[in-house]
Structure 1
Amino acid sequence: MTDHHLIDVHGVSKTYDAGPAVLTGLTLRVRAGEALAVLGPSGSGKSTLLNLIAGLDRPSEGSVSVDGVRVDSLTETESAKYRRSRIGMVFQFFNLLDDLTVLDNVLLPAQLSGTPRAEAAARAAELLARLGIDRHARAFPGRLSGGERQRVAVARALMNRPPLLLADEPTGALDTASGADVRELLRELNADGQTIVLVTHDLALAESCATRTIELVDGRIARDEGMVRR
């Protein structure tokens, strides 16, 4: 971990139409190399915060900067380029393309970024081997277990070497054994220096792979503390 702040969320509030504020005056800084778990009850603003960091939504007030990029001021085209180059995203239900093989799913971000084919193929092979799913390269996602599909999703998210990995309930759709497998994977990635922000209800996930936890309540940070990982 370094003293460099990869994420700087300053004074952010978010409202939708005439409804109540989802986030209120939230300020958060995340150092490069941290693994931050965002906890809180449903409706507390967890997913909204993740979407703001990803550039999928914009704050009503305040600013969001990631890796030196002022995310809240990007155009739609710039936001898409930002996500391709600086953000890897992992979702609860994998979001893999079932008509593409594992290898082609992993290659997709590189193809969208215009990475030369040979370079992309080498990177994909490296990731599949590192995550222990190289034997499934030619298989289709529907033939894999939940834990294996989540590993494919992580490989795809890391394809373009993003400085930040965002994970939204990454163990939420998994059985106990697969969830433990993914927890260990995220822990290993962070130990290798990957910055991670994850939204979760899974306390075991936060306790095993997060170096820091914040709890959101009614759109505000109610707790912010470092964690001793198990």
Structure 2
Amino acid sequence: MTAPVIEFKQVVKSYENGPPALGPVDLTVSAGEAVAVLGPSGSGKSTLLNLIAALDRPSSGEITVDGVRVERLGEAAGAKYRRARIGMVFQFFNLIDDLCVLDNVLLPAQLAGVGRGEARDRALTLLSALGVDGYAKHYPGRLSGGERQRVAVARALINRPPLLLADEPTGALDTASREDVKELIKDLNEQGQSIVLVTHDEELAATCATREVRLLDGRVVSDRALSAVSR
């Protein structure tokens, strides 16, 4: 049996003396799943994502991602882990305005030590597959929201991470661009990409996810598979 891509065991995250922001949580995500995490503001969604990405540490419990015990990582090891195993897509794209599209996509590969030629080939292949290769020399400010999000996805995938994390990826988009990105996320998962998607968008979850996890007050209150029909 294939090892899970994510495994949380009794994970708790607390801040100062308040109630836990998350947990205790037990959660397993298998390779190839697209898991939508939903819940109201303050339910623990962003905390969950930050723990998976080693941007924060749990107060207690064990987190394993792609065979790595994430809660044991220091700052330098956490950065290396993110470069190698995690692709991240954000609500506001986080592209560098002073770099052209191609150089934005190349940056994570260069930081990971991939040779310039290989990185360029990967970047151009991704931009072509995502339908934005015609903008390779353009700057992000000249692109629509949907186009910028496609570039952000290319950047997230350039190091071929086993896991893609998406934090409200349609939150800053107009209706047409939202539909575009929904289809993109669905297509990526159908190609085998494992995805954890944090969103308030019920339609996005229903369209893109194979599974829905709901949080409330830091705890999992619902965890159900979504049928292919709902997608």
Q: TM (normalized to structure 1)?
A: 0.98
In 2, Cα distance between equivalents of 1:64 and 1:172: 28
**What is aligned with 2:73?**
74
Gaps of 5+ in 1: none
Q: CA deviation at 1:31?
A: 0.0
**What is aligned with 1:24?**
23
**What is aligned with 1:122?**
121
Superposed CA offset, 1:43-66 (max 9, x none):
000000000000000000101110
**What is aligned with 1:65?**
64
Superposed CA offset, 1:162-213 (max 9, x none):
0000000000000111001000000000000000001000011100010000
Letter in 2 for 1:165: L
Partner of 2:5, secondary structure, is strand
**What is aligned with 1:50?**
49
In 1, Cα distance between equivalents of 2:192 and 2:147: 23
**What is aligned with 1:149?**
148
Matched, 1:181 2:193: no
**What is aligned with 1:135?**
134
Q: CA deviation at 1:22?
A: 0.6
**What is aligned with 1:10?**
9
In 2, Cα distance between equivalents of 1:204 and 1:105: 30
In 1, Cα distance between equivalents of 2:130 and 2:124: 10
**What is aligned with 2:192?**
193
In 2, Cα distance between equivalents of 1:74 and 1:4: 20
In 2, Cα distance between equivalents of 1:162 and 1:210: 19
Partner of 1:5, secondary structure, is coil
Partner of 1:21, secondary structure, is coil
Letter in 1 for 2:31: A
Superposed CA offset, 1:132-163 (max 9, x none):
00000000000000000000000000000000
Q: CA deviation at 1:3?
A: 4.3
Q: CA deviation at 1:17?
A: 1.1
Partner of 1:95, secondary structure, is coil
RMSD between superposed Cα atoms in Å: 0.8
Provide the identity percentage. Answer: 66
Q: CA deviation at 1:24?
A: 1.9
In 2, Cα distance between equivalents of 1:97 and 1:16: 32
In 1, Cα distance between equivalents of 2:186 and 2:223: 20
In 1, Cα distance between equivalents of 2:202 and 2:2: 27
Q: TM (normalized to structure 2)?
A: 0.98
In 2, Cα distance between equivalents of 1:117 and 1:204: 39
Partner of 2:185, secondary structure, is helix
Letter in 1 for 2:106: L
Letter in 2 for 1:91: F
**What is aligned with 1:203?**
202
In 2, Cα distance between equivalents of 1:72 and 1:12: 10
Q: CA deviation at 1:18?
A: 1.6
Q: CA deviation at 1:4?
A: 3.0
Superposed CA offset, 1:25-45 (max 9, x none):
100000000000000000000
**What is aligned with 1:38?**
37
**What is aligned with 2:215?**
216
Distance change (3 Å), C-alpha of 1:3 and 1:114: closer
Gaps of 5+ in 2: none
Letter in 1 for 2:111: L
